[in-house]
Structure 1
Amino acid sequence: MVISMLQFVVELPDTTSLKEKRKVIKGLKGKIIDRFKVSAAEVDLHESLTFGQIGVALVSNDKQFGESVMHKILNFAERWVPGRIQDVEIYSEQF
Structure 2
Amino acid sequence: MIVGFCTIELRIPMSHSLKNKRGILKSIINRIKNRFNVSIAEVANHDDWKLATVGIVTISNDTVYIQQLLNKVIEYIENNYLDVQLFNHIIEFL
- Asked if these proteins are the same fold (TM beyond 0.5), I'd say yes
Output the CA distance in 1 between the equivalents of 2:87 and 2:7: 9
Question: What TM-score do the two structures reach when normalised by structure 1?
Answer: 0.93
For structure 1, the residue ranges without an aligned partner over 5 or more in a row are none
User: Pairwise mapping of residues 54-65 of structure 1 onto structure 2 (< 5 A)?
Assistant: 54-65=54-65
Deviating beyond 2 angstroms after TM superposition, the runs of 4 or more aligned structure 1 residues are none
For structure 2, the residue ranges without an aligned partner over 5 or more in a row are none
Cα-Cα RMSD: 0.8
Output the CA distance in 2 between the equivalents of 1:27 and 1:53: 15
Alignment partner, residue 68 of structure 2: 68
Tell me, what secondary structure is at the counterpart of 2:31? helix
- How far residue 80 of structure 1 moved from its aligned partner, in angstroms, is 2.4
Give the letter for the 1:85 counterpart.
Answer: L
Number of positions where the alignment pairs a residue of Structure 1 with one of Structure 2: 93
- How far residue 77 of structure 1 moved from its aligned partner, in angstroms, is 0.9
Output the CA distance in 1 between the equivalents of 2:26 and 2:46: 12
Tell me, what secondary structure is at the counterpart of 1:70? helix
Question: What TM-score do the two structures reach when normalised by structure 2?
Answer: 0.94
Q: Are the aligned partners of 1:33 and 1:40 in contact in 2 as well (CA < 8 Å)?
A: yes
User: Pairwise mapping of residues 44-59 of structure 1 onto structure 2 (< 5 A)?
Assistant: 44-59=44-59
Tell me, what secondary structure is at the counterpart of 1:48? coil
Output the CA distance in 1 between the equivalents of 2:47 and 2:2: 32
